Amino acid sequence: MPFWQRLLLGDSALLAQWAAESAGQAQGEKPEETAPEEAEEEQNLQAVTPDKIQEKTISGSGSGYVNAQGISLFNRTEKTVDLEAVAKGGSSLSFQKAEAGPQVLIMHTHGTESYARDGTEPYTETGVARTTDTSYNIIRVGDEIARIFEEMGLNVIHDRELYDYPSYNDAYDKARAGIEAHLAQYPTIQMVLDVHRDALVGTDGTVYKPVLQIDGVKTAQVMLLVGTDDAGASFPDWGEHLALAMQIQQQMNSLWPGLARPITLRTARFNQQLTKGSLLVEVGGHGNSLEEALAGARLFARSAAKVLLERVAQ
């Protein structure tokens, strides 16, 4: 197995669970017996120092990727995915006009996730690459996405709750309850965007940060993650979510080539079954700086908003 694939399978924060799932299946276990409904991120990251960080622009080349129609997908399920068929099937996501009520909910299952500290970002860590300081954790990135969405005409609620603090292991259960409460209060919400940052660590301890230069600015790459029913939980319309992610990935890379990492398809649902437009988005990794993440978040938000505004009823 190529080194980069080993790195992703073994050490990426949200992808390590897949390796355990695959190992269980290799021993003859059923997927639903080895994969939790909502997979949790690894918590044993090592302290990050600048000498351990290496820049990496991640593309869809190499084994394990499916590429078609300008789309790149890393398929971590047992499903065979025809990207052309998914694109043709499309997404039924639609919004009422902004005046009718909130259209998009931005939230964070792992709200304490944060970025590499340097002299300009000396926040106090709550854990490795985590902090409850919302000026420096992933909540700040959500603020930026919400700002751009609203600037472009979408009606947004940003849930700034730290669902992973003080207890981390039940974050997805707590987040689901939070999402359901918002949907009950605001039935006009048709999209839930769960914003995270990734963590990519090599077997030698190297921290890889997904980054590229856009207009002279170091910008964190952005990855969309789509869940499925492969873990045994009901999620019949996951293909529509993938179709939506494909549209957003195309928009990102048409405006800013290389901004989008390959979409990742996973076995668990990640609470995406709750609305037609739910997606998980990874803005950079724990090796990126906050400024790089904010730069990526702004470009992602402008790309995604263009796609979403086309789905507003006229």
| Overall average pLDDT of the 250-255 stretch | 96
First to last CA, the chain: 50
> In this predicted structure, what is the pLDDT of residue 60?
85
> In this predicted structure, what is the pLDDT of residue 119?
67
> In this predicted structure, what is the pLDDT of residue 271?
98
| Overall average pLDDT of the 308-312 stretch | 97
Q: Residue 207 above 60 pLDDT?
A: yes
> In this predicted structure, what is the pLDDT of residue 254?
95
pLDDT in tens, 121-132: 678 899 899 999
Q: Residue 234 above 80 pLDDT?
A: yes
* Lookup: tokens for 234: 């009901």
Query: 313, 303, 153, 279: which is closest to 214 by C-alpha?
Result: 303
Structure-model confidence comparison of residues 47 and 133, the more confident one: 133
Q: Residue 22 above 70 pLDDT?
A: no
pTM score, whole prediction: 0.88
Residues whose CB is less than 8 angstroms from the CB of residue 113 and which lie 6 or more positions away in sequence, other chains included: 129, 130, 137, 138, 164, 196, 197, 286
> In this predicted structure, what is the pLDDT of residue 307?
98
Q: Residue 13 above 80 pLDDT?
A: no
> In this predicted structure, what is the pLDDT of residue 43?
57
Q: Residue 41 above 60 pLDDT?
A: no
List the Cα angle 290/194/88 in 5-degree steps.
115
> In this predicted structure, what is the pLDDT of residue 46?
87
Counting residues of the chain whose pLDDT is more than 90, the rounded percentage is: 75
The whole-chain average pLDDT of the chain stands at: 87
pLDDT in tens, 149-181: 999 999 999 999 999 999 998 999 999 999 999
Q: Which residues pair with 251 in a beta bridge?
A: none
Burial 160-196 (b: 16+ CB within 10 A, else e): bebbbbeeeeebbeebbebbeebbeeeebbbbbbbbb
